[in-house]
Structure 1
């Protein structure tokens, strides 16, 4: 089968074709060598079993196609002087990307011991998928990569995130046909409706259809070409097809396709930037069809391999034990004619490297793939400019996220010239009370607009699409290429990106151990519209478990904050936006909330992470507390303070300590988390032997898990969300989950020795209040006046 593209003429001379093919063959040879060999890298002696790794790990199937793309991207970059980045979606193509970065020299510059000679080649081969070596996927260790290939679906959204606010950058994105079946990838095709051809870069998707996943055919590869074209055109692209298995013809078609797409992209940008074209462009896309495992063994043990799912991983699996497999491997390696590609010392010959760009234009050396080299400090203002006044605790109410919105509007305005800050979220910026940002930047939008629309802006930096996956991918790509941002989301639905944040945390953990990877801006989540204020939307909108998920991850990379009011939210957000190499999760309410701390008090309290609110308790400093009321989260804090107030009124002789926790990791031992407390600190705060009633924002067992090793754990009683959700009143939500003030007073009475008998009448009064509440809301549909109109009178 010969190759074809939609363009007939070829831009390649015979000499150019020969050199491109040499580069491609060299990359294929190095890819196979990484999977199989641990010595004899240039086959200077007959291949023997001991030259082969005892465990064969890696993926050959997609590698030759990726090598073809890398080769032709090199040509395009060099011939046109482009700044380019490539997202390698088929992460199983690790051998290909490593091979190419070694050929171009960026790998050796990053890892000087992997020299570009026979000895370095041997180390390159041995380290791949080997104990103490490098992973089999395109990983953080791979120069030029910003995309972990261990999980599929995020490549295209990462590519668009990298292109936003990068007007001089071409981001190529290779999408494997297995990845093209995932939900996140399907949604991310719509990213082109948000790409501004004036102020953003360009994204060139290359849909690589080699026909198979691990064991099954792929959907898009089996569609008729006309049906596939209709799908891609519906997404807003103009596809160019490159199909074949004869190398020379494929090279010619691929070079023509690359030139055509570059011309079209340049024309789109020129029309928008110089001629004022306002219509949304149809961006080019390449559909590349080559056989899975191309140029590998056609048949093994009587079964077809090349062009089938059997080529996915290791086509020859018994090389050490099966002489026929060993022979086939040697023939396979020699088919690339390595003596033409590498000199007697093992260095790539000059003809192999003629397509390689220079210096930082090499794909493995672009600073856009090491975003910490480009990141700048955000222009964050003094927080007093936005702080709410607090003359005394609980005297006033504010919507915390609305207050934060004013700060974000300032940051958005101050970064208008340099364009390195974005706010993303799934259609919830205004719902989450952050609409102040619209005064500095509208919502990015390139599609059709109507008169009724508000705040849509072709050049906007507020990003909204009802796909949490796409929001996450955009922001990750944006951060990894050296910018800043915030992801605002309803708390219950951020779980949609659980798997994506897993990969980002793993990426951060690995990059912290790579000295050549400069720290990037943190991935910051603002989770609001939270469980305790979703009484109107009901059970489907109530889930506080993302915090549990995050705190299972690498302690060095994750932080979780539960600010109890507006000023603490400002302090926490300021810290998160300044930080590097973290995933920061901030859970804060958007409904009116009491103001507890002044800005200066908030700073100190947030820096401490957990502390005693002496103004809220009844300790007099002469004796230990009889009980500790602890809280984490805005609604739990209000309920604890209301409970403390009830105890003061009904049991004034009781010494109650109130502890508020902002940084939830403070509960961990210091040896388990950088923010953890020593046992000495923990016991001083919570006491080693007094009852602790802890009102927590999320699932109560998380607090037990964090504190299970503490001396006083047997005295710890946690109240939190117990999946008792419904559509009801705000206070009924806390009552249903036993987090309410009356239940907390009862818990204290039940747990302080000798108090159950002495305070039986008080306890009965608390139970009566709960019963009165149930009757009242069923008759009136709103909370009891004593709850709805409650204020702090301490």
Structure 2
């Protein structure tokens, strides 16, 4: 745990007599005492003294989550369950639960509280805790992530708690609506619980308990309800587990006021409802407020669940150990034998073949057949729902459970995935390596490969921009064989977001010797330098560059092509080789099938001299070839730019034929390929 260092799991806790009211009520009270102390900076044990100059983080949702969790644990057997909470707003509950499970001396707990949100301490929303499958700042995806976890792990019971305000998000509504699309694995179950506290963050929630009930019943759920009575909550939790275990869709609505059990006022200021969301307004230097807090915390610990030395009742710890927030990862399955793809296939055909051979679960918004996922569809690996955010959340859940998963999307819609991918990248960066398979993203129909409505390069650009030490890989295969080998390699990687950008139409298919950059020259050119160089990113760009090479050869002009297959992984030696291939005064042009400015840093690194950058600019025409031409990305456009840069090419060569040559590939092109 990041917030308490050096506390051994399983450390003995001081026994405190178990008061009446049951273990669930005692766990809830202990969790509230810890969470409030954590958020406000009070030393441990309660009532404590102020240790920080300000309160930080969130308070309001934490008691309701603890209430739900306690009763779920009480009504579950000793094997327990995996708990997924929806947002970083539950950071103080997460802290409290870890202390209740693992223990710690009063000094250790006080020190962790003091560090929370303090300069040089721990961030005010916890992130990067080892083996925790979901911690995200975005509201809504937790439901889908939990569905993915339950679908990937036979026998796993998953409970997920979200807020009523969270139910307003598209990601949460899509997960609720499509509960029957992604079913739990054998013996597993998925149990969603809504912490209905009447408030989202700074204002009232849009969904009343009655509206939520009507909405969820209309989606086919059995809806159970309870309030702040322990016997009602226990009955609801018991029945919820029974129904979830049979596979019947069930939701438990736990209705408690936000901030409860804190007083309606503290220090003369409201402290319930949306006022309880953050404790930042509490000034514990105020004597009257401090007296109110002492009185309340004393009453909450009566009869005691926290001893005078900070020890926690042993029966509370036993209950806490039924609630897991971590998930272990099964060893990844061995991949099937690799076989070479046929020469000249469409790149997406080979992506489909690799995904099917490796039994990767494919989550796709729509049109799996249009995206050439024929083998995956036949093998039952594809789940389609027209909700990109939900597909991304499902893939997150599968990946965290140790099952390889891929989101396949048109690039035009893929920016809807960007926020969740950013959250997942933060998780991967913050925690120790966990050995998870990659969360794979496959983008099709970039640029001119589809109608104008389907054209957009923003997601590829957003991922490329992360670069550096961020665990993201963006690969632009040179053709079908390249797509197959590169995807196989990506699926062997761990703890990354792995993105493949490729086409659906047949293209030239040069061999791929590996590495971040590949060089291509006319066969028999000898040791002489090329007359000009084209730097190409993307399989269509490589095809057009090689076609330009073929057109120029009869005129005695040697054009070399450098394909940047993985721009984000150019090491020192490769960067030097690419620079040499593009070194002035040799004319050069850069062409990509993403927006050129996405690659500006790479282009400037490999060719500091002025060079034309050709890329997708959201210009389109009636056909894919018209769109290619409108963006200035055809083979003739490349030759024209090279001529303008000083390459000795005849003007007659720059006139494209009247017929649409979009599917005309040079069959007599003889070239050699090398890894740079």
TM-based fold match above 0.5 = yes
Match of 1:73 in 2: 72
Residue 765 of structure 1 deviates from its aligned partner by: 4.5
2:27 maps to which residue? Answer: 23
Contact 1:643-1:741 within 8 A present in 2 as well: yes
Aligned counterpart, 1:415 = none
The separation in 1 between residues aligned to 2:611 and 2:198, in whole angstroms, is: 57
Asked if residue 236 in structure 1 is aligned to residue 235 in structure 2, the reply is: no
Structure 2 segments unaligned to the other structure (5+ residues): 1-17, 671-676
Matched, 1:382 2:338: yes
**Counterpart among 522, 531, 536 of residue 615 in structure 1:** 522
Shift of the 694–120 alpha-carbon distance from structure 1 to 2, 3 Å rule, reads: same
Residue of structure 1 in register with 2:115 after alignment: 127
Distance between the aligned counterparts of 1:678 and 1:405, measured in 2? 30
3-state SS of 2:412 partner: helix
Residues 765 and 679 of structure 1, relative CA distance in 2, 3 Å threshold: closer
Q: Residue 586 of structure 1 aligns with which residue?
A: 500
Q: CA deviation at 1:528?
A: 1.3
Q: 2:631 aligns with which of 713, 717, 737?
A: 737
Partner of 2:539: 634
User: Which residue is equivalent to 2:279?
Assistant: 314
1:502 to 422, 440, 455: 422
Secondary structure of residue in 2 paired with 1:585: strand
Matches of 1:464 and 1:157, distance apart in 2:
14
Contact 2:34 2:96 in 1 (8 A): yes
Question: 1:351-500 to 2 correspondence within 5 Å?
Answer: 351-357=315-321, 361-364=322-325, 369-371=326-328, 373-384=329-340, 387-389=341-343, 397-412=344-359, 421-440=360-379, 442=380, 461-500=381-420
Deviation at 1:180, TM superposition (A): 0.7
Deviation at 1:181, TM superposition (A): 0.6
Distance in 2 between residues matched to 1:156 and 1:464, nearest whole Å: 17
The answer to whether 1:527 aligns with 2:467 is no
Picking from 488, 491, 495, the partner of 1:577 is: 491
Distance 1:66 1:166 in 2: 24
4+ residue stretches of structure 1 with deviation over 6 A?
A: none
C-alpha distance 314-688 of structure 1, shift in aligned 2 (>3 A):
farther
Q: Distance in 2 between matches of 1:324 and 1:790?
A: 84
In structure 2, do the counterparts of structure 1 residues 61 and 44 end up closer, same or farther at CA, with 3 Å as the change threshold?
Answer: closer
CA-based RMSD of the aligned residues comes to 2.5
Aligned match for 1:32, one of 24, 31, 36: 36
DSSP 3-state at the match of 1:334: helix
Any idea what SS the aligned residue of 2:424 has? helix
What is the DSSP-based 3-state SS (H/G/I as helix, E as strand, rest coil) of the residue aligned with 2:609?
Answer: helix
1:737 Cα deviation (Å)? 0.5
> What does the per-residue CA deviation read over 1:446-497, in whole Å, with 9 as the maximum and x for residues that have no partner?
xxxxxxxxxxxxxxx4211111111111010111122111221112211111
Change (3 A) 1:252 1:730: same
Q: Secondary structure at the match of 1:296?
A: coil
What's the CA shift string for 1:158-195, capped at 9, x where partnerless? 11000104231111111111211111111111232124
Aligned pairs (5 A) from 1:201-280? 201-221=188-208, 225=210, 227-244=211-228, 250-266=229-245, 268-269=246-247
Contact 1:502 1:553 in 2 (8 A): no
Deviation of 1:203 after TM superposition, in Å, equals 1.0
Q: Could you say if the C-alpha distance between residues 138 and 160 of structure 1 is closer, same or farther in structure 2, counting changes exceeding 3 Å?
A: farther
Sort the Cα spacing of 1:17 and 1:145 in 2 relative to 1 into closer, same or farther, 3 A. farther
**1:338 & 1:614 partners in 2: Cα distance?**
81
Say if 1:439 and 1:541 are closer, same or farther in 2 by CA, change over 3 A: closer
Aligned 8 A contact 1:703 1:718 in 2: no
Report if aligned partners of 1:153, 1:180 keep a CA contact under 8 Å in 2. yes
* 1:182–1:707 distance in 2 versus 1, CA, 3 Å: same
- Distance between the aligned counterparts of 1:151 and 1:32, measured in 2? 23
Say if 1:60 and 1:315, in contact at 8 Å, map to a contact too.
Answer: no
Aligned to 2:9: none
Q: Which residue of 2 aligns with 1:793?
A: 669
Distance 2:554 2:292 in 1: 87
Preserved CA contact (<8 Å) 1:425 1:489: yes
1:185 aligns with 2:185: no
Change (3 A) 1:619 1:338: farther
TM-score (norm 1): 0.78
SS at structure 2 position matched to 1:184:
helix
Contact persistence 1:165–1:200 (CA under 8 A): no
Whether the aligned pair in 2 keeps the contact of 1:88 and 1:138 (CA below 8 Å) is: no
The size of the alignment, in residue pairs, is 652
* Residues 740-778 of structure 1: CA deviation (Å, up to 9, x unaligned): 1111111111112xx5xx65xx23551x43xx64xx6xx
1:37 Cα shift? Answer: 2.1
Partner residue in 2 for 1:95: 92
The aligned counterpart of 1:332 is: 296
TM-score (norm 2): 0.90
Please list the CA deviations of residues 564-610 of structure 1 after superposition, one character each: whole Å capped at 9, or x if unmatched. Answer: 2111011111011111011111011111122222xxxx2x2x2x221
Give the match's secondary structure for 2:498.
strand
- What CA deviation, in whole Å up to 9, does each residue of 1:661-709 have, x standing for no partner? 2112145xx4xxxxx6565344234325533211111101122223334
* Cα distance in 2, alignment partners of residues 399 and 334 from structure 1: 70
Aligned pairs for 1:28-177 within 5 A = 28-37=32-41, 40-43=43-46, 47=49, 51-77=50-76, 80-105=77-102, 116-141=104-129, 145-177=132-164
Structure 1 CA distance for aligned equivalents of residues 93 and 601 of structure 2: 43
Distance 2:455 2:331 in 1: 36
What is the aligned partner in structure 1 of residue 673 from structure 2?
none
CA–CA separation in structure 2 for the residues paired with 1:370 and 1:547: 30
Distance, in Å, in 1 between the alignment partners of 2:144 and 2:318 is 32
Q: Give the structure 2 partner of residue 348 of structure 1.
A: 312
1:286 alignment partner, SS class: strand
Match of 1:700 in 2: 596
Q: Does 1:566 align with 2:480?
A: yes
Are 2:584 and 1:691 equivalent residues in the alignment? no
CA–CA distance in structure 2, aligned partners of residues 140 and 596 of structure 1 = 41
Give the direction of change, closer, same or farther, for the CA distance of 1:198–1:120 in structure 2 (3 Å limit): closer
Q: Give, in whole Å, the separation in 1 of the partners of 2:352 and 2:146.
A: 28
Q: Report the alpha carbon displacement of residue 730 of structure 1 after superposing the two structures with TM.
A: 2.4
Match among 463, 468, 486 for residue 555 of structure 1: 468
- 2:484 and 2:652 map into 1 onto residues whose CA distance is 41
- Structure 1 residue 733: Cα displacement: 1.5
Task: Map Cα deviations across residues 220-279 of structure 1 (whole Å, 9 max, x no partner).
Answer: 12x5x2x432211111210011123xxxxx21111111111122233x25xxxxxxxxxx
CA distance in 2, matches of 1:615, 1:347: 76
Partner residue of 1:747 out of 617, 632, 641: 641
Structure 1 pair 20–793 and aligned structure 2 pair: CA distance change class (3 A)? closer
| Separation in structure 2 between the aligned mates of residue 677 and residue 219 of structure 1, nearest angstrom | 57
Taking a change above 3 Å as real, the CA distance of residues 567 and 546 of structure 1, as seen in their structure-2 partners, is: same
